[in-house]
Amino acid sequence: MSLDVFKLDGRVALITGGNRGLGFAMAQALADAGANVVVTSRQEDRAMKSAATLATITGQRTLGIAVNITDAAQIESMIQTVVNEFGRIDILVNNAGINIRKPVEELDEASWDLVQDTNLKAPFLCSRAAARHMKEHGGGSIVNCASIAGINAGAGLASYRASKAAVIHLSRSMAIDLAQYQIRVNCIAPGQIQTGMTSYDLDAVIRFTQPLQRHGGTDDVANAVVYLASDRSAQVTGILLPIDGGTTAGPPASQLKLMLGAASERQE
């Protein structure tokens, strides 16, 4: 079996929020697979710097674009810039997102709107604009970044969880609508991933929630994106792929034993 199906030579990939963290790892992985990559940021200097770094690391052609992804006109201009520069767009990764951590009773309307506009409306607007050009070249791949927070509920993240749950269903709906044009739409749901921006005790979270009991890294997510962007996944559309060490499957065996032990003690 040839691994050439994972190659993305000659293809053009756009990664929103690709200037740092998970987005940068995705952009680098796509470039390593042969794609020319475009990364975005709200700040032009960050976008340009990240694009230059990617070009140096991978040897691929890159471009940095400053854009506010909650603005429909700027999104249309961004996609047109990519097409003007590279002649096409084959891969779109809707990665940019925001989280405002507040309990429901303290969550103001402006914060709610900002999270929904960034995490939900932006992927819709970017996908709609990119799909128009993908149709002209016989198809493409769109990967939307949700989260296991869109699958499981929890305290203090109502706006974020609602936006990510909606992205999951938006992805499925777009997959059906765009299949006739050979545009595949899939969704990933990262769990607890170790990045330079992780600000909590990841070991403790993993110990109590994750069956595999290991740190997930940016490469784990980036590799999944390469798979979904490549011809290896040519028959895959409309799926949700959790990258979470089994967290959404259920608690780790150690925690199950503790729970069963506690239940046994109460019965006695």
CATH number of the domain that 115 lies in? 3.40.50.720
pLDDT (tens, 9 = 90+) of the chain, 268 residues, equals: 556 778 999 999 999 999 999 999 999 999 999 999 999 999 999 999 999 999 999 999 999 999 999 999 999 999 999 999 999 999 999 999 999 999 999 999 999 999 999 999 999 999 999 999 999 999 999 999 999 999 988 888 999 999 999 999 999 999 999 999 999 999 999 998 876 545 457 787 788 888 988 888 999 999 999 999 999 999 999 999 999 999 998 888 877 656 555 544 555 5
DSSP single-letter state for residue 120: I
Q: Measure the CA–CA gap between 147 and 189, rounded to whole angstroms.
A: 4
Q: What are phi and psi of 91, to 5 degrees?
A: -135, 130
Active site residue 160: yes
**What's the order of all strands across the beta sheet hosting 183-190?**
62-66, 36-41, 12-15, 91-94, 140-145, 183-190, 240-243
CA distance linking residue 39 with residue 108, whole number of Å: 31
Domain count, the chain: 1
Catalytic residue among 160, 181, 200, 227: 160
Give the H or E element holding residue 65: strand 62-66
Q: What is the pLDDT of residue 216?
A: 86
What pLDDT, in 10s, does the model give residues 145-171?
A: 999 999 988 888 999 999 999 999 999
φ and ψ at residue 245, rounded to 5 degrees: 65, 20
Its domain, for residue 95, covers 3-267
Is the pTM value of this prediction over 0.75?
yes
